Structure 1
Amino acid sequence: MTSLPARTAPPAPDGASQLPDGLLAPEHGTASLAAVLPAALDALGVVVTTATGIEGRAARGALDLPRADRVCVVLVDGLGHLNLAERAGHAPFLRSLLPDARSLTSTFPSTTAAAIGAFGTGTAPGRTGMLGYTQRNPETGGLANMVSWEGAPAPHELQREAPLLTVAAEAGVAVTSTGPARFAGSGMTVAALRGGSYAAADALERRVDAARLALSRPGLVYLYWGEVDKAGHHHGSGSWQWGDELEHLDRELARLARSLPAGTLLLVTADHGMVDVDPGLRRDVATDPVLDQGVTLVGGEPRAVHVYTEPGAAGAVAARWRDVLGEDALVLEREEVLARGLLGPHVRDAAIQAAGDVVVAMRGRATVVDSRTQTAASLALVGVHGSLTEREMRVPLLVAGR
């Protein structure tokens, strides 16, 4: 793939940065998820400034983190700040940290691929080119799945920013990641989280054990847990199943915290929150001729849709989608997305090419799907995410240490 330059977003016109009530624009500095790893590296003495201008020292100061010999960063998929606060009765350990928690913003879209890319590099989706669950591959014209990496370019080709775990390892820090065996060497891991060693473990108990072992010496540990998100997708974030998963997580993180050696910093954060949606507010592009007119491909996810249009049709498509969706969605043409800075500063041309000609952020409990390209299981999800609502955008930073 030919290297493509970065493009600084044009100055936003008056009022362009304003979003409708209930929507929250992503931060791209020290109040963002992207600031967590730069701050962690600075706590360990590694000086770093990312491509979007996040300085580790400034991030550590803004997040009020001390110096440390050891840092363990836990990322819990789907553990939104508001979701956690509402269900905190299931999590006595995490609840004890909530009064001093920082509320950070996720990325737009507020979804795992985009957020993990920004988290792992300290940048933003416009830099990493990781823009959603699915997005157009400009080389093939088809959809690329940014979680399974099916249909996507090679990870090193699509994502050009240096992963911060690599930066830490190259600075001499002992770096250990622990997650499921299937993630070792996966596209997302290689793209955004490569660096150091990988301790494969499927059960949370085994991941905590791997983290405890790695923390017996100075260094950095990254631990990922995805079952809270999975329970939310299938049963909703208000379900007893979600509560059970939160209880399980809380027990194990409390065990981890009790075992930390002196001089260890434990950081718990998340990639996004979750909304339980209303099937009665779901629109299907495949069965709606007005939404389908002028559209060649639908990507993204039900709460944050990348709409790819016929040449020259973006304006007309955006107008029709606004008419159909009304108050249920914020519908923007790609240039508006860039002008508002929703993908971050200094957006790479490769990311612009992969983004929708029209981008749709859903409001309330509404969704848009395309049953021609989405599976029946994905259409049936109860809890979803990706949009700009506070429930989806706000993620916690919980801090413990010894």
Structure 2
Amino acid sequence: MRTAPPDYASAALLSDLVPAAAIALGAGGILDDGARSRAARLGLDTEARVAVVVLIDGMGSRLLRDRAAHAPFLRGLLSGAGTLSAGFPSTTANSLSSLGTGMLPGAHGVMGYRLLDPSRDVVFNQLTWDPEVDPEAWVPDATLFERLAAAEVDVVSLGEPKFAGRGLNQASLRGGRFRGSQTLAERIAHAREEVRRPGRRLVYLYWGALDRTGHVHGVDSWEWLEELEHLDGQLSELASALPPDVELLVTADHGMVDVPHGARIDLADEPDLRSGVRAVGGEPRAVHLYTEPGAQDEVCAAYRSAVGDRALVLTRGDAIAQGFFGPVRSANRERIGDLLVVCDDGFGIVDSAHDSPAALALVGHHGGITERELDIPLLRLRG
């Protein structure tokens, strides 16, 4: 199994994408020298009046290339495509925070699907959020959208109305204007309107249906292919409307792998794996275990025995030292589990005593460090 964390030092990263777009828009002054240097690795050195960043949840590079016959528009962009790396864990909350802040996971602090709030000793969902948590205190740094807006770049986010100004959006993607829509056709129509308006602009468009379909039906399903075909057609409509001074950038937040239900450990059936664990966070392929005082070594031994070569079991200190999250701020350290379980291909950990029936029924998962989860495309088109 793969045991190395993402290559934050030399790979082109999702966290570099909006900085690269800022440079193309003539707003590179919002970046420090390090961010400008990292952004240069993406090769987006063409000046643009408008940059459109489209993030398709769950559209990993390997998935797209393997199924490119179903996506003629996207297939036409593959010959000049680049590959970016998501961070660890390869999950939406982490990746969107890296996109919106330009930071690595240990710096922005959104290091999983469910994380511990150390001040309350409560694990909460980083996507659905917790009203007791102030998003701007959880991710306190100015976002890239805020910094671009302060530099007189018009920033507009296109997404679901329920996410406007709350939760993760307010934590990691705050800044600029928000236009809500329910369907992809509506969202594409909004993007087409925005690229025609005068002035410098960053348009951010998020679409999540491909990820949801993969979770429910699996990435090897006809339903996933059908959603990819629909998405491809809509993106083609957007591309046909781009003026010549507009740069279209299509990427994703992570890929996905199918995990057969028979290849999972259910903690509800394994009392030895619940002993000494006060809370479970993360997700099925990247589990955060928060242990009782003094129980870490015993829990670590139990998990290593149970998972064998199907997963890595790391202490918090080892995960930080090996660079899984990049440099970790001291304020974010205790959000990480005392132990991390990072699953190999086709394996996951669930808990039927606490997970919902809908969550237990899911087929597709992500969060791990396989290429199918970490590698995401960077597709470019000039209007």
Q: In 1, distance between residues paired with 2:3 and 2:115?
A: 26
Of 164, 175, 182, the match for 2:155:
175
Mark the CA change 1:60 to 1:95 in structure 2 (over 3 Å): closer, same or farther.
same
Q: In 2, distance between residues paired with 1:132 and 1:207?
A: 27
Runs of 4+ in 1 over 4 A off after TM superposition: 48-51
Asked if the contact 2:145–2:174 (Cα under 8 Å) also holds between the matched residues in 1, the reply is yes
Mark the CA change 1:362 to 1:312 in structure 2 (over 3 Å): closer, same or farther.
same
Shift of 1:185: 1.3
Q: In 2, distance between residues paired with 1:177 and 1:205?
A: 15
Q: In 1, distance between residues paired with 2:125 and 2:9?
A: 24
Q: In 1, distance between residues paired with 2:7 and 2:151?
A: 30
Asked if the contact 1:22–1:390 (Cα under 8 Å) also holds between the matched residues in 2, the reply is no
Asked if the contact 2:49–2:201 (Cα under 8 Å) also holds between the matched residues in 1, the reply is yes
Mark the CA change 1:389 to 1:24 in structure 2 (over 3 Å): closer, same or farther.
farther
Asked if the contact 1:315–1:333 (Cα under 8 Å) also holds between the matched residues in 2, the reply is no
TM-score (norm 2): 0.95
Q: In 2, distance between residues paired with 1:120 and 1:348?
A: 18
Instruction: Please list the CA deviations of residues 72-127 of structure 1 after superposition, one character each: whole Å capped at 9, or x if unmatched.
Output: 00000000111111111111111111121111111111000111111110001111
Mark the CA change 1:380 to 1:28 in structure 2 (over 3 Å): closer, same or farther.
farther
User: Which amino acid is 1:285 matched to?
Assistant: L
Shift of 1:233: 0.5
User: Which amino acid is 1:311 matched to?
Assistant: P
Asked if the contact 1:132–1:301 (Cα under 8 Å) also holds between the matched residues in 2, the reply is yes
User: Which amino acid is 2:357 matched to?
Assistant: A
Asked if the contact 1:49–1:55 (Cα under 8 Å) also holds between the matched residues in 2, the reply is no
Partner of 1:298: 280
Partner secondary structure for residue 368 of structure 1: strand
Partner of 1:311: 293
User: Which amino acid is 2:220 matched to?
Assistant: G
Q: What are the within-5 Å matches in structure 2 for residues 162-241 of structure 1?
A: 162-216=142-196, 217=198, 218-241=200-223
Shift of 1:340: 1.0
Partner of 1:68: 48
Of 374, 380, 385, the match for 2:355:
374
Instruction: Please list the CA deviations of residues 323-368 of structure 1 after superposition, one character each: whole Å capped at 9, or x if unmatched.
Output: 11011101100001100111112x1223211110001110021111
Q: In 1, distance between residues paired with 2:190 and 2:172?
A: 21
Shift of 1:312: 2.4
Q: In 2, distance between residues paired with 1:211 and 1:74?
A: 10
Partner of 1:331: 313
Q: In 2, distance between residues paired with 1:164 and 1:302?
A: 30
Q: In 1, distance between residues paired with 2:322 and 2:375?
A: 19
Instruction: Please list the CA deviations of residues 195-253 of structure 1 after superposition, one character each: whole Å capped at 9, or x if unmatched.
Output: 11111111111111111111112311000000000100000111111111111111111
Partner of 2:75: 95
Mark the CA change 1:290 to 1:61 in structure 2 (over 3 Å): closer, same or farther.
closer
When structure 1 is superposed on structure 2, of 152-161 and 175-184 the one drifting more is 152-161
Shift of 1:24: 5.3
Unaligned runs of 5+ in 1: 1-19
Partner of 2:129: 149
Q: Does 1:128 align with 2:108?
A: yes
Instruction: Please list the CA deviations of residues 33-71 of structure 1 after superposition, one character each: whole Å capped at 9, or x if unmatched.
Output: 1000000011101125768x7423541453344111110
Partner secondary structure for residue 324 of structure 2: coil
Partner of 1:44: 25
Partner of 1:161: 141
Mark the CA change 1:58 to 1:135 in structure 2 (over 3 Å): closer, same or farther.
closer
Q: In 2, distance between residues paired with 1:58 and 1:137?
A: 31
Of 263, 285, 288, the match for 1:281:
263
Q: In 2, distance between residues paired with 1:348 and 1:208?
A: 38
Shift of 1:27: 2.2
Partner secondary structure for residue 77 of structure 2: helix
Shift of 1:311: 1.2
Q: In 2, distance between residues paired with 1:30 and 1:388?
A: 14
Unaligned runs of 5+ in 2: none
Shift of 1:147: 0.2
Asked if the contact 2:73–2:236 (Cα under 8 Å) also holds between the matched residues in 1, the reply is yes
Partner of 2:324: 342
Q: In 1, distance between residues paired with 2:184 and 2:229?
A: 12
Shift of 1:376: 1.2
Partner of 1:255: 237
Q: In 1, distance between residues paired with 2:146 and 2:227?
A: 31
Partner secondary structure for residue 104 of structure 1: strand
User: Which amino acid is 1:348 matched to?
Assistant: R
Partner of 2:224: 242
